Homo-oligomer: A and B are copies of this chain.
Amino acid sequence: MRPNAQTLIRKLEHVTLLADEEKQVLIEAVVRTRDLRPNEDLIREGEQPTDRHVILEGVLCRYKLLHEGKRQITGFQIAGDLCDLCGLLMGRMDHSVGTLTPVTVGVIPHQTLRRIMECHPRVAEALWQETLIDASIAREWIANLGRRKAYQRLAHLLCEMSVRLKAIGQVTDGMSFEWPLTQGEVADAMGLSTVHVSRTLQQLRVEGLVITQGDEIRVLDWDRLQEAGDFTPDYLFLGSDLGNRGRYP
C-alpha cells in the first residue's frame, strides 16, 4: 500500500536522518490519496485548507496570478515534495498550487501533522528544512529572473530540474528525463513569452546541449549546459554535503 510514500521520507532524509519510528509515523500520517488531472488546482491563493499534501506522483507548480491575466510560476514540485506547508503555519496560502500532469498526492490531515510535530521535534525540523530549501530555490529563481537572459535562464532551469529529478530517481541512464511542461508553462516560470521559449530551446538544441524527443529531454552535454546556465547545485541542498546530518544520534 502506498508504495510511493517512501518518496517523502527519502526527500526529508536528504538533510536530516530520521529514526525508524519517525519514518513510520510519517508514512501512517497519509490517510488517503487523491488523484488530480492536469491543470487542476490543488489549493488556491488565500485559501485556508485543512489538509496537507505530499506529492506521490506527477508534477505541480506554485503560481500567482496578476492582473491582465498574466501568470507567474514560482516553482515546480515533484514527487516527495510537500505542497502546502506554508498553509500549515501561516493559516493562509500566499499562492496557488496547480497540477501540470496527472497527479497523485497523499493527504495528511492538518491535525495529524501538528501532533507529529509536537511529539517528534526532529520531524518538525525536517519539515522546516524543506520549507527553507524551498526558499533557497526561490532566491535562486530571483537571481535567474533578475540577472540572466533567456538562454542562460532556460539552461539553468533544465539543470535544476534534472538534478532534482535525479535525486528522486527519475533520470534514466544518466541523462534523460520526462519533461511534461508546455512551452507556455516554461514561459510563465521563466518570465518569457512562449515564442521566445520556443526559439531559445531551439538554440539549446542547435548548440547540442539537449535534445527533446516527445515528452522527454535528454541532456547531451551536462558540463556545457551547467556552464551555460551558470548553475551550481548547492542551493538545492541535495548533494554530498549533508547539512547538519551528523546530528543524528
Which residues of A line the B interface, CB within 8 A?
A: 15, 46, 62, 64, 66-67, 70-72, 74-75, 85-86, 89-92, 94-95, 118, 121, 124-125, 128-129, 131-136, 138-143, 145-148, 188-191, 230, 234-235, 237, 241, 243-244
Contact = CB atoms under 8 A, between A and B. Distances in A.
Contacts of A90: 15, 129, 132-133, 136, 237, 243-244
B142 A135 contact: no
Nearest to A189: B146
Given A46-B234, A135-B131, A89 B121 contact: no
B128 A230 contact: no
Contacts of A46: 234
Contact of A72 (B124, B129, B136, B142): B142
A142 B143 contact: no
A66 B135 contact: no
Q: Which of A133, A141, A146 has the most CB of B within 10 A?
A: A146
A114 to B, nearest CB: 10
A91 B147 contact: no
Contacts of A244: 89-91
A237 to B, nearest CB: 6
Contacts of A138: 135, 138-139, 142
A241 B92 contact: yes
